[in-house]
Amino acid sequence: MISAYNVMTIDENKIQEHIGQSFSVTKESGVTKLTFTDNGFFIDNKGYYSDIFLGKCDTCDPYKTFFEGFSYDKVLVAGLGLGLLPQTLASEGCSVVDVLEINEELIAWTAQSGHLDPSINIVQGDVYTYKTDAKYDLIIVDTIWEPSEMTPQQQEIIKTSFNPTTLNHEGRLYFPVLSAMIDRLPSED
């Protein structure tokens, strides 16, 4: 672990500006900002976000603790944003980085912009209803930014949606904002 942030960002020269129906992408003082139209929530192209959520700094608790002694290679990230988490995971050499995103406009802009590693697979779908036969070492639910945005019932729906067969034997389901870090889903036996 490191004490300072890695500051893994996406190459600013590759990110295209966009004014759309559901979000806009602007550049202010050399930093890209994605802002959602409906709620004004924004994401800056700053590396501390990925470093904190992936526990890659000495002061990143409780996230750091979640990743101690845990390794992953196949990852599903629910929620795209600018793509900082998927880009970081791809740059770390994960063999599978799948991203689940509900916003079709965001998916289309990301594909057109071409700012993410081409190995990242983006799938259009809703975290509450998504079903897959794929198996992952880590599933990161990065679709909310405030604990009040997800009820306990919604957490249960996601836990059911990503049932034990979706995770590899030692796989983990992870809700970073909620600090709801689950070692394993309940087994089916």
- Which CATH number characterizes residue 96's domain? 3.40.50.150
Q: Please answer whether residues 35 and 116 qualify as being in contact, where contact means their C-beta atoms are separated by less than 8 angstroms.
A: no
The reported pLDDT for the residue numbered 159 is: 75
Residue 130 resides in a domain: yes
Return the closest-CA partner of residue 36 out of 114, 93, 101.
101
Residue 187 resides in a domain: no
Residue 137 resides in a domain: yes
Residue 2 resides in a domain: no
Query: Can you tell me the distance from the alpha carbon of 173 to that of 171, in angstroms, rounded to the nearest whole number?
Result: 7
The reported pLDDT for the residue numbered 189 is: 35
pLDDT tens-digit map of 66-118:
888 999 999 999 999 999 999 999 999 999 999 999 999 999 999 999 999 99
Which amino acid is residue 143, in one-letter code? T
Which amino acid is residue 156, in one-letter code? E
pLDDT higher than threshold 80 for residue 6: no
Residue 188 resides in a domain: no
The number of domains in the chain is 1
Query: Each residue of 121-130: b (16+ CB within 10 Å) or e?
Result: ebeeeebeeb
SS (H, E, C) 23-41: EEEEEECCEEEEEECCCCC
- By residue count, the chain amounts to 189
pLDDT higher than threshold 70 for residue 64: yes
Residue 140 resides in a domain: yes
Q: How far is CA 167 from CA 18, 59, 72, 140, in A?
A: 36, 28, 11, 12
Residue 1 resides in a domain: no
Query: Can you tell me the distance from the alpha carbon of 149 to that of 154, in angstroms, rounded to the nearest whole number?
Result: 9
Q: Kindly state the DSSP code that residue 166 receives in the 8-state scheme.
A: G
Return the closest-CA partner of residue 115 out of 7, 15, 26, 46.
15
pLDDT tens-digit map of 123-182:
999 888 888 889 999 999 887 666 667 777 877 777 777 767 788 888 998 887 755 444
Give the residue numbers spanning the domain of 96.
12-182
